[in-house]
Structure formats: structure tokens, C-alpha cells
Structure 1
Amino acid sequence: MALDWQLSELLENLHTDVQHKLSTVRKSFKHSVVKGDGAENVWVDLFNQYLPERYCASRAFVVDSNNQFSEQIDVVIYDRQYSPFIFHYAEQLIIPAESVYAVFEVKQTLSKEHIEAARKKVASVRRLHVTSLPIPHAGGVYAAKPPIEIIGGLLALENEQKMSETLNRNLEQQKEDKGLLNIGCAADDCFFFYEKNRHEMTVKQHSKATTAFLFELLSQLQSCGTVPMIDIHAYGQWLK
């Protein structure tokens, strides 16, 4: 029996579902912390449901082998297949820097203030030290893999800056900036992404912004490849 399904309808329903959940969280929870946690959970659930199983998404801190920690990150997308350890401490998740693919700040609105907050959080992760060891294989040893360029972004329900020119201006940044945002989404209006080849930000208004954002994120994750092989002994030195 042929199924009467349409890919366009499935993709539209994905966007509608996420936008509805974010709107419900905003209307139902009056306390700002609870509201923020609810919005983070919506995005975490989206990533854990639709990204390939090699990726995992959680709220977390990121640590490096020099005993430096990031700020708390609303959504960290990290490698679960090749990550040798993830710390659970006092109900907090702590992930080694080598395992991280992407980090996101989650806000209710896409605004200049929240763009700056997201940059600060992203930079706190990118400043961390990343180890990388040669990779043994059946035919010998591959050279150590250069650390991946961690994706940084901002996720929101609404876009406060309805003028594309205003949003573009607030997103302007230098390629070398540790807080550069590669990607982001306002579920009700648009998504944006940084084009490496052209060194500029592109903002696209879209009626299904969440789904379009998810496709762009998948493309950026694919370009990252696999995380480097972590130097376990670099972390082990902190054993007293």
C-alpha cells in the first residue's frame, strides 16, 4: 500500500512542533530561570532526536587538560562515540574540550544584547586547550588530527530585529574572533550562518526557520569530521 506522505509536510511539521513547544514554554512559565531551562530542553531534545547518534546534546561545562573551565553552556553538542570520559559532578555535566563539536546560547529573543552574551559563552569554550594524539590503525599510524573549529551559535524563539540590515550589523564580526557565531536561529522568523569562503554572515528569513537551521547545522557538523584523539595522560596528571 502506497503511503500518502509528503516530505514538505514532514519538514513543516518539524518546524511547527519546535516553535509550538518554545511558545508554550514562554507562555506557561513566568519564572525566568524555569523559562530558560524549558527552552534549553526543547533545543536539546530536538538535537538528540534528529542528529546522528554519534552526537549528543546537553547543558554542560567544558574543561581542558590545563584545568581551565568554560562558562556554563546552554547546549553543548559533543561526541559520544569516541569520548573516553564525561564527568557527572554535583548534578553538573563536564565535558572535555576535545569532545566538543558545537556550543549554543539559548535565549527567548534574538537581540543585540543576547548576541553579545552568546559570543562571550562561545569564546569561553574556544579559548580552552585541545590535545590531539596520533591515531593508530591497522596499517600504521595517522598523524595527529588538527583540532576541529568548534561551531558557536545562538538559539531563540523570536527575532527582535526584524530588519535584516540591523541583524546583519549586529552579527558582524572578524573571522579570528573567538566569539564568532557560525550559526543561529529565531524560530519565528529566520536563521543565519557564517559563510567561511566569503567571510560574511548570511541572514535568511524563512517560514520554516527551525528546519532550515537544522539542515545548515547538519552540514556544518559534517564538515567538522571527527573529533581528535584525546591525550588521556594530559588529564591524568591532575590526579593527586
Structure 2
Amino acid sequence: MNGAADAWMRTAFIDVQAELALKLRRATGSINHPGVKGAVNEEHWIDILRAYLPNRYQVDTAIIIDHLGGRSDQMDVVVYDRQYTPTLLDQKSHRYVPAEAVYAVFECKPHIDKAYLTYAGEKAASVRRLARTAVPIVHAGGVTPPRPPFPIMAGLLAAKAEWSDGLGQAFRSHLPTGDGQLDCGCALDHGGFDTHDGTLLVFGPEAGLIRFLFRLLGRLQSLGTVSAIDWNAYAASLDVPVIGAAS
């Protein structure tokens, strides 16, 4: 790509980032009710992800469930498969998503600090602790063995970081580990981060939003397609007696 084309694309995406930042500031400054303010900011992030992720990925607020009756906390943003896995018990914007369908979860907060990193890590762990099933896939060419579920990604989305050095040493020292690990995220005014195979990459604020989105696209692409869900396991969890069976 030549310099002129490169500059044009960078400028265009910087404008998209500036527009999102303005929307987040407007919501923060003009809405007094904390719950409504949070919901509006979540919708702004959801709109961005829906705009830039392929249609195979659905993006919503949701609770994640498993076939054993386990439930996650309410997740601000869930990236999941809708082509092969339906949501359950939808009521307006409230829905349950089977754990097998989930690619990634994100928390949306006004800023990134120690408390919100810890909180986002706890929310991520509530998803990763859920049980996931997998069954063989039957297709025209035969049967493909069950695919082991891949690790669910988790992250944090915000307008800025609260530390004086942005996503610097203090941020790095407070990133959760284990089941609560945060793989990637974005703080519009300070850039973003991406953790992969134990290596943390932090990038600056210029075009930080689109860097985050492109890296998220790459990570999603590397995961492939979700495992085929075992609906019989979900049916068995209902504990409904079988009336009878034909001999």
C-alpha cells in the first residue's frame, strides 16, 4: 500500500475512533442514571463491533449458560455464533447464550483502572468456568469427530485509562491471570492491548480502535468455528420424565 492510501485509511479510522469517543463522552456527561449510562455506552461499543465483525459473529448483551444449569454474570458484550446455536428465552434485549456458542466476552466501563480490571477478570472467569459440550458433525462427506472447545477470549473496553502513564506499568501489574485473564481490550484515549501466548502487546492511541478491531478479527479467525453443541445434554438437564417409548 502506498503512502497516500495508507494515510487516507489511517485518517478515516481515526475519525471513526473520534466519533466513538465523542459518543461515550456525551453519554457520560449527559446521562445521570448510572444504569442507563452504562447501557448506552455498551450499545455504542456493540454498534462498533457489529459494524466491523463479519455477519457470522453475533454481538449482544447476554448471560451465558451451560447444560448443567450454570450461569455466568450478565456480560456487557458477548461475541457468539448464531448460525448454528440459537439464543434461549429471549426477552427484548435479555437473552441466554449457550456456552458452546461463545467466542469472546467484554466488559464496557468508563475507564480502565485496577478495580475494573479485577471486576472484568471475575466476570470472564464466571464464563470460563461453565461446562461446554461437543458432538460429532455430520456432513455430506461423512462425520467429523467432536472438536474440543477453544479458550473463550475476554477483554475490557473503555474510553480511557486512569493511570498517568496510560496502559503502562501500573496497568500491566494489575492485569488478571488464570481464569480471569483479559486477552485484549481498548482504551480509546490511550490505545489498546492484546495478550497472546503469554506475550502482552500494548499499542498507542493513534488509530488504536481499528488496531484493536483488526487484531480481534485475527484472533477470531484463528479460532475457526465453535464446537457442535450436544442438545441432548441440555434436554437431559430439564429432568422431565419420559412418558413412554415405542417398542
Which residue is equivalent to 1:170? 174
Query: SS of the counterpart of 1:236?
Result: helix
Deviation string 1:197-228 (CA, Å, 9 cap, x unpaired) is xx132222222221111111111111111000
Which residue is equivalent to 2:191? 190
2:234 maps to a residue whose letter is Y
Query: SS of the counterpart of 1:19?
Result: helix
CA contact (8 A) 1:59 1:74 kept: yes
Which residue is equivalent to 1:211? 210
Question: Equivalents in 1 of 2:119, 2:113: separation in Å?
Answer: 10
Query: SS of the counterpart of 1:74?
Result: strand
Match of 1:152 among 151, 154, 175: 154
Alpha-carbon shift at residue 60 of structure 1 (Å) = 0.6
1:136 matched to 2:135? The reply is no
Which residue is equivalent to 1:117? 119
Deviation string 1:29-63 (CA, Å, 9 cap, x unpaired) is 12211111111010111111111000111111000
Alpha-carbon shift at residue 188 of structure 1 (Å) = 1.1
TM-score for the superposition, normalised by structure 2: 0.89
Which residue is equivalent to 1:237? 236
Which residue is equivalent to 2:200? 201
User: What is the Cα-based RMSD across aligned positions, in Å?
Assistant: 1.7
Match of 1:55 among 36, 54, 57: 57
Query: SS of the counterpart of 1:109?
Result: coil
Which residue is equivalent to 1:221? 220
Alpha-carbon shift at residue 230 of structure 1 (Å) = 0.4
Q: Which runs of 5+ in 2 are unaligned?
A: 241-247
Deviation string 1:110-152 (CA, Å, 9 cap, x unpaired) is 0000000000000000000000001112221111011021110
Alpha-carbon shift at residue 234 of structure 1 (Å) = 0.7
1:17 maps to a residue whose letter is E
Alpha-carbon shift at residue 10 of structure 1 (Å) = 2.1
Structure 1 stretch displaced more, 118-127 or 25-34: 25-34
CA contact (8 A) 2:117 2:176 kept: no
Match of 2:74 among 43, 61, 72: 72
From the superposition, tell whether residues 31 and 171 of structure 1 become closer, same or farther in structure 2 (CA, over 3 Å): same
Larger Cα-atom Rg? 2
Deviation string 1:50-104 (CA, Å, 9 cap, x unpaired) is 1100011111100000010000001111111111443314852110001100001
Which residue is equivalent to 1:97? 99
Query: SS of the counterpart of 2:38?
Result: helix
Query: SS of the counterpart of 2:79?
Result: strand
Structure 1 stretch displaced more, 13-22 or 180-189: 13-22
From the superposition, tell whether residues 38 and 84 of structure 1 become closer, same or farther in structure 2 (CA, over 3 Å): closer
Which residue is equivalent to 2:90? 88
From the superposition, tell whether residues 210 and 162 of structure 1 become closer, same or farther in structure 2 (CA, over 3 Å): farther
1:237 maps to a residue whose letter is A
How many residues were matched structurally? Answer: 232
Question: Equivalents in 1 of 2:68, 2:157: separation in Å?
Answer: 30
TM-score for the superposition, normalised by structure 1: 0.91
From the superposition, tell whether residues 22 and 62 of structure 1 become closer, same or farther in structure 2 (CA, over 3 Å): same
